[in-house]
A and B are shown apart, each in its own frame.
Chain A
Amino acid sequence: MGSAEEDYNFVFKVVLIGESGVGKTNLLSRFTRNEFNHDSRTTIGVEFSTRTILVGDAVVKAQIWDTAGLERYRAITSAYYRGAVGALVVFDITKHQTYDVVDRWLKELYDHAEASIVVMLVGNKTDLAQAREVPMEEAKMFADNNGLLFVETSALDSTNVEQAFETILKEIFHKVQKQKQRNSQSNTVSLANESPESTAPAQTEKRPCCVAL
């Protein structure tokens, strides 16, 4: 928990999705608190954590929503996609079934989120490489074909966790910067032309909270 008066330039809302048990909660706790829990409890509904990082000169607050991976909750979790500017779609490299359904998660994501959302495919649990069922090349190719970022991580031994979040946050940041430039060049405020909730996702400047959930 940081202090309430932290100063930051951007708030980016990022959601973690994927099958139950792939390690979403531990990726989050590794990134925000540098903790790993061998028997962390099942996530109920959504849980929430934040961390502030530096991207270039800008202070970016990542507001990360961890959702339950079980089907039954989806009616509730879908509301939480709104305003998200980034998504980590997580699977377990040792369980092919969790990779097979990535498609379904992507579909759900694009049904509810902004088209401009930055998506990263994350193969978690590389510490269990001897039990690997999903070849890295296969997942990488899938990501390339679908325009997703890709990384393999281990929340347990910390491999690539930091990089995964940093990469997606940077990518979002650059997207926002580009959008801003485009807006100022064309001299029309395109953000204002469209409905405010649908364009400006959670990327307001210098405002503590921006998400219209």
Chain B
Amino acid sequence: GYLPANVDRRESTLKRKRKEYFAFVEQYYDSRNDENHQDTYRQIHIDIPRMSPEVLRLQPKVTEIFERILFIWAIRHPASGYVQGINDLVTPFFVVFICEYIEEEEVENFDVSSLPEEVLQNIEADSYWCMSKLLDGIQDNYTFAQPGIQKKVKMLEELISRIDEQVHRHLDQHEVKYLQFAFRWMNNLLMREVPLRCTIRLWDTYQSEPEGFSHFHLYVCAAFLVRWRKEILEEKDFQELLIFLQNLPTVHWGNEEISVLLAEAYRLKFAFADAPNHYKK
């Protein structure tokens, strides 16, 4: 994400960024119990054990690392500060970096504290910068009243009304509001809707796509919703619809499903992004 394109400069950039991060830690982390920061710290502290997904999160070492990453980020971004959901966004980076040292299948049972301290520090700093870079592109998702999310949910609604009018009408008829299910899709970048392995695959594409997290994500959400059109149209009741939409059956999803989803998202973006009146009523 944040590395320079020039291969020769990468190693030195990494070193510099890692140093910079630990300088922040030194500078700010002791302030976590200060009066004006303790609310932030308390919230982070109670949220870490409640992150998605279950992998790794209950190990004290991991908790410690995540708390530092999130606290430093919150302190350095006072306009948004810490918002629930941001805690989830560290995990994919962290897991990917950990997987350089272990087999992917081992992640679930792996004792993180068995890695050398230096390796862990590098992972922590790299995760921090990757998360920072990601959040830079979607900061208005997390500023007061979350305008970025409000806007994107509206855009999703507008998009669906053109892509699949039948689904749109069906939701409308049963008084299902997009905000009721898609808020989380935006706030947590679909992390709560698909298994972690799928999130990692999905984000891989987002990173290689210009404005992947802020713009392309919208088309992925549209493709994701329409993917369930059959099930949605079969449900004829507000409550059942909402329960379905908030608990989509993706436990078994893997790369294949994500590839299909991404292909469909590309198709939609190609057909609709630069044609705001396409299929408009």
Residues of chain A touching chain B, judged by Cβ–Cβ distance below 8 Å, are: 1, 4, 20-21, 39-42, 44-50, 61, 63, 68, 70, 72-73, 75-76, 79, 208-209, 211-213
Give Cα distance in the complex from A191 to B145, angstroms.
Answer: 34
Give Cα distance in the complex from A76 to B145, angstroms.
Answer: 7
The number of inter-chain residue pairs (CB within 8 angstroms) is: 91
Residues of chain B touching chain A, judged by Cβ–Cβ distance below 8 Å, are: 43, 46-47, 49-52, 54, 57-58, 81, 83-85, 87, 142, 144-146, 149-150, 174-175, 177, 179-180, 183-184, 187-188, 192, 235-240, 242-243, 246
A70–B246 CB distance below 8 A: no
Give Cα distance in the complex from A212 to B174, angstroms.
Answer: 10
Give Cα distance in the complex from A45 to B187, angstroms.
Answer: 9
Give Cα distance in the complex from A175 to B159, angstroms.
Answer: 43
Enumerate the 3 nearest inter-chain pairs by beta-carbon distance, A residue then B residue, closest first.
A209-B238, A75-B145, A45-B183
A4–B237 CB distance below 8 A: yes
Give Cα distance in the complex from A209 to B174, angstroms.
Answer: 8
Tell me what chain A mostly uses at the interface: helix, strand, loop, or mixed. Answer: loop
Q: A20 and B175 in contact (CB under 8 A), knowing A50-B243, A72-B142?
A: no
Give Cα distance in the complex from A47 to B184, angstroms.
Answer: 10
Q: Which residues of the partner chain B approach A41 to less than 8 Å between Cβ atoms?
A: 50-52, 192
Q: Which residues of the partner chain B approach A211 to less than 8 Å between Cβ atoms?
A: 175, 238
**Chain A residue with Cβ nearest B145:** A75
**Chain A residue with Cβ nearest B47:** A42
**Chain B residue with Cβ nearest A65:** B180
- Of B52, B145, B243, the residue contacting A1 (CB under 8 A) is B243
Q: Which residues of the partner chain A approach B54 to less than 8 Å between Cβ atoms?
A: 39
B180–A44 CB distance below 8 A: no
Could you give 24 example pairs across A and B, Cβ below 8 Å? Answer: A1-B240, A4-B235, A4-B236, A4-B237, A20-B43, A21-B46, A39-B49, A44-B183, A45-B179, A46-B180, A47-B246, A48-B239, A48-B243, A70-B83, A72-B144, A75-B144, A76-B145, A76-B150, A79-B179, A208-B238, A209-B174, A209-B175, A213-B177, A213-B180
Give Cα distance in the complex from A82 to B10, angstroms.
Answer: 54
**Chain A residue with Cβ nearest B247:** A1
Give Cα distance in the complex from A73 to B183, angstroms.
Answer: 10
Q: Which residues of the partner chain A approach B85 to less than 8 Å between Cβ atoms?
A: 42, 44
Q: Which residues of the partner chain B approach A63 to less than 8 Å between Cβ atoms?
A: 239
Q: Which residues of the partner chain A approach B235 to less than 8 Å between Cβ atoms?
A: 4
B175–A213 CB distance below 8 A: yes
CB distance from A153 to the nearest CB of B (A): 19
Give Cα distance in the complex from A21 to B46, angstroms.
Answer: 7
A72–B179 CB distance below 8 A: no
**Chain A residue with Cβ nearest B149:** A76
The residue among A1, A72, A213 with the most chain B CB atoms within 10 A of its own CB is A72
Q: Which residues of the partner chain B approach A1 to less than 8 Å between Cβ atoms?
A: 240, 243
Give Cα distance in the complex from A79 to B179, angstroms.
Answer: 10
